[in-house]
Structure 1
């Protein structure tokens, strides 16, 4: 079964949703048969490479909300994150455009390290105050994951994987996705937002049941086969 997850590195609920989905997947009896694919999305593609201000100031300006109201919103998100074992620090966040980070994630995915890279960038952004728009940080992160530093630097200083990021975003638009995280199971079921783990568990079970081969029930005599017709004729 294929699960595609559209998310943005700069989205706090995406990190929380990742944890909740992972908790559900860990308890899923068919987890070894599930392929997870991380897809790119940008909440604010118009954001400059770096915003000269805090996360509070940025969201206050973007949403037209008073800063005290933004900080109150942050406290709610922090509490939800803490419930999933995450230590968000909104005062440390470096506000940066996430496009380069998404290109890095595509590079990591090409090397089979997409999930590890996603975790590293989300943690770096929300827990450690790292600059996800800084190529040096991304090169160091790649090296820590086992990627070749020169390959990472060449890719990010150039334009490699830009089309892949844009394609992910365009596909999200085509599917009607307007917010993240958004989870798509076998292109049949969609789950919007950082739902409780129980919601993901039920969705995984339902999607798996509908794609699995039929269980053939035995007849009264215990045989699985009853009289039937086939290409060779009838019994």
Structure 2
């Protein structure tokens, strides 16, 4: 069976993206069908400086309210998806261009999906600074990227510019919310959809491929 291509647009600091990516991963594992998950970068806030920002201060400024109620709602959804998310561990919003550049490079090793999940887990479950190159070296080690390769990618202005360009192009195409899924270049879904919704989109995309 030919693998079904699933394009997935996310930002590593988006908790709903973590939930959506995990749900997709669980679904693919349960179904056992061949798929090709292709990750694309999105920057929720392109103005985040390289050193990152205090998460709570940024959200208070953006929404004019205490973010703790928002955190509780996201934590509840994450727990339903089997993710022990605890925002008490997440203190800062890092810049994500370096992390996205690593995920893009991991396509050559067929490791985009596991590396993306490892980055989500490091940030949301451990509070790791995924904008820091040394942190990225540790996270990427199990996925076929040497320390030297990680440093070269993370510190490359060209790689980071490519991330910003790709993210801007996706925004220009009308993608304003993530996660965003495209199944077999046919069916698009926005948001951290339940597994049943993702499964139906996969089924419809498969059916249309078979009918061609």
TM-score above 0.5, yes or no: yes
Which residue in the other structure is 2:27 paired with?
24
Which residue in the other structure is 2:9 paired with?
6
Distance 1:141 1:160 in 2: 22
Which residue in the other structure is 1:37 paired with?
38
SS of aligned partner of 1:75? helix
The Cα shift of 1:175 comes to: 3.0
1:76 to 70, 73, 77: 73
> Is the Cα–Cα contact under 8 Å of residues 107 and 152 in structure 1 kept in the other structure?
no
Higher alpha-carbon deviation: 126-135 or 100-109: 100-109
- Residues 52 and 174 of structure 1, relative CA distance in 2, 3 Å threshold: closer
Matches within 5 A, 1:185-224: 185-213=183-211
Which residue in the other structure is 2:50 paired with?
49
> Is the Cα–Cα contact under 8 Å of residues 6 and 183 in structure 2 kept in the other structure?
yes
Distance 1:179 1:86 in 2: 21
Residue 142 of structure 1 pairs with residue 143 of structure 2 = no
Distance 1:145 1:92 in 2: 25
For each residue in 1:18-59, what CA deviation from the matched residue of structure 2 results, as whole angstroms up to 9, or x when unmatched? 122223333446x21x21101111100111123453x22221
Matches within 5 A, 1:26-175: 26-28=29-31, 31-32=33-34, 34-53=35-54, 55-64=55-64, 66-67=65-66, 70-93=67-90, 94-175=92-173
Distance 1:28 1:144 in 2: 25
Distance 2:10 2:62 in 1: 19
Higher helix share: 2
The Cα shift of 1:159 comes to: 2.1
Q: Scaled by the length of structure 1, what TM-score is found?
A: 0.82
Higher alpha-carbon deviation: 104-113 or 84-93: 104-113
Distance 1:23 1:140 in 2: 25
- What is the aligned length? 208
CA RMSD in angstroms comes to 1.8
Structure 2 residue runs without a partner (length 5+): none
The Cα shift of 1:13 comes to: 0.1
The Cα shift of 1:200 comes to: 0.5
Distance 1:193 1:76 in 2: 15
1:182 to 180, 183, 199: 180
> Is the Cα–Cα contact under 8 Å of residues 107 and 161 in structure 1 kept in the other structure?
no
Structure of larger gyration radius: 1
